[in-house]
Amino acid sequence: MSQSTFLFFLFLLHQHLSAGVTTGAGDDFTFNGFRGANLTLDGTATITSNGLLRLTNNTRQVRGHALHLSQIQFRLPRHNGTVFSFSTTFVFGTIIKDRYIGGNGLAFLISGSDNFSSALGSQFLGLVNPNNNGNSTNHVFAVELDTIFNPDLYDINGNHVGIDVNGVVSNFSVPAGYFSDDTGVFQNLSLIGEQVMQAWVEYDAESMRLNVTLAPVRTAKPRRPLISRSIDLSPVFLDSMFVGFSASSGSYQTAHYVLGWSFKINGTARALDYSLLPSLPRTKSGGRSKFLEVGIPLASAGVVLAIAGVVALVVRRRMKYAELLEDWEKEYGPHRFSYKDLFDATGGFAEENSLGDGGFGRVYRGVLQRTKLDVAVKRVSHQSRQGMKEFIAEIVSLGRLRHRNLVRLLGYCRRKGELLLVYDYMPNGSLDKLLYDRLRPCLDWPTRFKIIKDVASGLLYLHEDWEQMVIHRDIKASNVLLDGEMNGRLGDFGLARLYDHGNDPQTTHIVGTMGYIAPELVRTGRPSAATDVFAFGTFLFEVACGRRAVDWAADIDQLVLEWVLQGWRKGSILETRDAKLGEEFVAEEVDLVLKLGLLCAHPSPAARPSMRRVVEYLEGSSPLPELAATYLSFKTIELQRSKSIEDYMTSYPSSSSVATASSVARAP
């Protein structure tokens, strides 16, 4: 053993033995590691034997909180003044199972209550729930480190830092990163990069300025903060508040860790002693990099190294392109892509080719080298092999669907823990972006009406005109893609099925997207043509009103259905249309679309039209029947809103832009 190795081990030993807690009292405390720390923990939060605070435990759909035991005084009691200045810093890290995507995120929080039993995980980060999101009675302030792009919450991307006031629609957010002291240039940081990072949150009472700064651990705090905003926290804070952390894993196996934390009122939080902080558990990839750092400088026998290098290269190359292929797949030959082809097509799944994140995985743009075909490749994380055979059979069967209003599924590839689905590339992207992106010009009414008819025609084909009936199960604007000629095409088949077969009991409930789920689907769990028609109704509202199915940012009428229904009751249904359209619309068509939406989203499945009727109404070949006022009672809507949606929220992850679903059933 060389001297340097010996010193290294001594160093490790020292690190191991000396990790511990240093706490001050009251409003000034420091935890250099959490061994022996007395915190209030709930959910999956725990302190590991080596002193890590672990908030989520590498399991899907969990959440955890850790709070400082006693409340902190943030202003003089019974004195409605500004809150005191405070400063905090913490070192954190995230370990993910899938190499590419990690569950929802971690937040530093300051809260009036230590009871988070009604808060939901997933995109609600364990802070709020759909009913109280944004409500000023929450008295919750948080700095979120969010790793999932959720357009419903106006997220900017899948890797951002946000300031949350009483809810998870961030008051302000920026991509995660820091400004280099040397160059002043912004450097990206990946919050799920298995890299340990440090954050600083500082508030100055006098100027009411909040600064948030991020940096890789062991680098000096960057001079320029990542966020520096003026914000008055006095209405948000009570006199005494709890401080701590919250994290939720959502649909990905993720573990969120805090390694050290300090906090101080009226002053700068104490610097953390890096030598005392515990280390994150090693992962396979982490282990390899450690070997490279430590092992290679120590190796002296050049020959051995050279041979090892060649072997490693060969092994790595094989690992890099390794895939799973079993005998039963032989018959699917033409639909099976090689991983290497997909890897090459997407430039090695390069970041710049990413088209967006979804609840199930990330989508990449690519060009198949041999055929020069433009494709979109979706990477779906999937650990379970159970049901894979049936699922692939279904994928291949769906791959035979050919219709001008359906996105073609070209094939698939399978690797360990991962499934890749290959689709035709749609140059004009998804409809939700055109509807909601404020930077884009308003989508004109004739195009909207045409896309509605396209989607109706695609769905009719799935329901009635193909050899077997296909229930789509996740119709919504973000699953409608636009080809080069702006034809609307229904995208994405099959993923819900995969999760149905899977062995994860948490995701076997209902698959679909909030605001699109028919009431009977919640009761029975059985998707049908009528539940698709219900979702189609909500889709019509989205297109005509330019509002999301559920708008978390709206103060009232979060459900678009409720918004249209109220307009209809008042006799002014046209006023519910997208304000961006101005006067540029055809009144009869908008009226038809909105009323057809109400008919399709009827609480009783028997009252909803079939897709064939829907197409007839849209073509004008049959007149739309009158709506009976009594059917759509507020009671039903209320029920849908409070019951189904929350049941669903607790059982199913984010309603994200590329989450998809479908189901194949034998035609009756």
Ligand X SMILES: *[C@@H]1O[C@H](CO)[C@@H](O)[C@H](O)[C@H]1NC(C)=O
> Can you say which residues are annotated as belonging to the binding site?
378
Piece in contact with ligand X (CB under 6 A), picked from 202-210, 341-349, 437-445, 602-610: 202-210
Q: Write down the least CB distance from residue 25 to ligand X, Å.
A: 12
For Cα atoms 150, 155, 158, give the angle at the middle one, nearest 5 degrees: 70
Question: How many residues comprise the chain?
Answer: 668
Q: Which is nearer to ligand X, 585 or 652 (CB)?
A: 652
Quick one: which of 19, 21, 27, 534 contacts ligand X (CB under 6 A)? 27
Quick one: which of 181, 204, 575, 638 contacts ligand X (CB under 6 A)? 204
Q: Which is nearer to ligand X, 40 or 447 (CB)?
A: 40
> Per-residue DSSP letters for 550-595?
B-TT-SS--BHHHHHHHHHHTT-GGGGS-GGGTT-S-HHHHHHHHH
Q: Write down the least CB distance from residue 236 to ligand X, Å.
A: 8
Q: Which residues are catalytic?
A: 474
Q: Write down the least CB distance from residue 209 to ligand X, Å.
A: 5
Residues 148-167 contacting ligand X, CB under 6 A? 165
Q: Spell out, one character per residue from 300 to 339, where the chain touches ligand X: x when CB under 6 A holds, - when not.
A: ----------------------------------------
* Sequence-distant (≥ 6) Cβ neighbours of residue 382 within 8 angstroms: 388, 417, 418, 419, 498, 502
Phi, psi of 158, rounded to the nearest 5 degrees: -100, 25
User: By C-alpha distance, which of 69, 421, 422, 75 is closest to 239?
Assistant: 75
Q: Which is nearer to ligand X, 15 or 180 (CB)?
A: 180
Q: Write down the least CB distance from residue 125 to ligand X, Å.
A: 16
* Single-letter amino acid code for the residue at 41: L
Quick one: which of 23, 100, 193, 209 contacts ligand X (CB under 6 A)? 209
Q: Write down the least CB distance from residue 17 to ligand X, Å.
A: 21
Piece in contact with ligand X (CB under 6 A), picked from 52-60, 244-252, 521-529, 568-576: 52-60
Q: Is 503 in the site for ligand X (CB under 6 A)?
A: no
Q: Which is nearer to ligand X, 58 or 111 (CB)?
A: 58
Quick one: which of 19, 29, 31, 58 contacts ligand X (CB under 6 A)? 58
Q: Is 62 in the site for ligand X (CB under 6 A)?
A: yes
Q: Which is nearer to ligand X, 45 or 456 (CB)?
A: 45
Quick one: which of 80, 183, 300, 630 contacts ligand X (CB under 6 A)? 80
Quick one: which of 15, 22, 50, 59 contacts ligand X (CB under 6 A)? 59
Quick one: which of 15, 22, 50, 57 contacts ligand X (CB under 6 A)? 57
Element (H, E) at 256: strand 254-265
Quick one: which of 4, 18, 38, 604 contacts ligand X (CB under 6 A)? 38
DSSP 47: E
Quick one: which of 91, 265, 375, 452 contacts ligand X (CB under 6 A)? 265
Q: Spell out, one character per residue from 228 to 247, where the chain touches ligand X: x when CB under 6 A holds, - when not.
A: x--xx---------------
Phi, psi of 664, rounded to the nearest 5 degrees: -110, 130
Q: Is 650 in the site for ligand X (CB under 6 A)?
A: no
CA distance 70 to 114: 10
CB 143 within 8 A of CB 108: yes
Q: Write down the least CB distance from residue 226 to ligand X, Å.
A: 10
CB-count burial class (<10 Å; 0-12, 13-18, 19+) for 531: buried
Q: Which is nearer to ligand X, 21 or 530 (CB)?
A: 21
The residue written with tokens 């789920």 in the block is: 517
Q: Write down the least CB distance from residue 668 to ligand X, Å.
A: 40
CA distance 210 to 232: 9
For Cα atoms 665, 667, 668, give the angle at the middle one, nearest 5 degrees: 115
Q: Is 350 in the site for ligand X (CB under 6 A)?
A: no
Q: Is 357 in the site for ligand X (CB under 6 A)?
A: no
Beta bridge partners, 424, equal: 375
Quick one: which of 18, 188, 503, 524 contacts ligand X (CB under 6 A)? 188
Q: Write down the least CB distance from residue 253 to ligand X, Å.
A: 8
Secondary structure of residue 405 in the 3-state scheme: coil
Quick one: which of 15, 22, 48, 171 contacts ligand X (CB under 6 A)? 171
Quick one: which of 84, 92, 499, 568 contacts ligand X (CB under 6 A)? 84
Measure Cα distances from 213 to 275, 307, 374 in Å: 21, 45, 40
Q: Is 69 in the site for ligand X (CB under 6 A)?
A: yes
Quick one: which of 32, 44, 147, 531 contacts ligand X (CB under 6 A)? 44
CA distance 506 to 496: 13
CB 423 within 8 A of CB 408: yes
Q: Which is nearer to ligand X, 201 or 376 (CB)?
A: 201
Report CA 472 to chain centroid distance, whole Å: 21
Alpha helices (H) in 283-384, listed in sequence order = 284-290, 296-298, 302-321, 339-345
Secondary structure of residue 423 in the 3-state scheme: strand
Secondary structure of residue 84 in the 3-state scheme: coil
Q: List the structure tokens of 91.
A: 């070192």
Phi, psi of 48, rounded to the nearest 5 degrees: -80, 170
Q: List the structure tokens of 387.
A: 């049901």
Q: Is 135 in the site for ligand X (CB under 6 A)?
A: yes
Element (H, E) at 460: helix 445-460
Q: Write down the least CB distance from residue 147 to ligand X, Å.
A: 13
Q: Is 115 in the site for ligand X (CB under 6 A)?
A: yes
User: By C-alpha distance, which of 540, 554, 565 is closest to 640?
Assistant: 565
Q: Write down the least CB distance from residue 169 to ligand X, Å.
A: 7
CB 514 within 8 A of CB 655: yes
User: By C-alpha distance, which of 275, 280, 245, 242 is closest to 259?
Assistant: 280
Q: Which is nearer to ligand X, 141 or 337 (CB)?
A: 141
Quick one: which of 3, 137, 183, 630 contacts ligand X (CB under 6 A)? 137
Binding-site residue ranges for ATP: 378
Q: Is 266 in the site for ligand X (CB under 6 A)?
A: yes
Q: Which is nearer to ligand X, 492 or 562 (CB)?
A: 562
Beta bridge partners, 188, equal: 177
Q: Write down the least CB distance from residue 191 to ligand X, Å.
A: 12
Piece in contact with ligand X (CB under 6 A), picked from 130-138, 190-198, 585-593, 648-656: 130-138
Report CA 21 to chain centroid distance, whole Å: 34
> Per-residue DSSP letters for 140-194?
EEEEEEE-S--GGGT---SSEEEEEESSSS-SEEEESEEE-TTT--EEE--TTSS
Piece in contact with ligand X (CB under 6 A), picked from 182-190, 327-335, 581-589, 642-650: 182-190
- By CB under 6 A, how many residues form the interface with ligand X? 35
Give the residues lining the site for ligand X (CB under 6 A).
27, 38, 44, 57-59, 62, 69, 73, 79-80, 84, 115, 117-118, 132, 135, 137, 165, 171, 186-188, 202, 204, 209, 211, 224-225, 228, 231-232, 265-266, 351
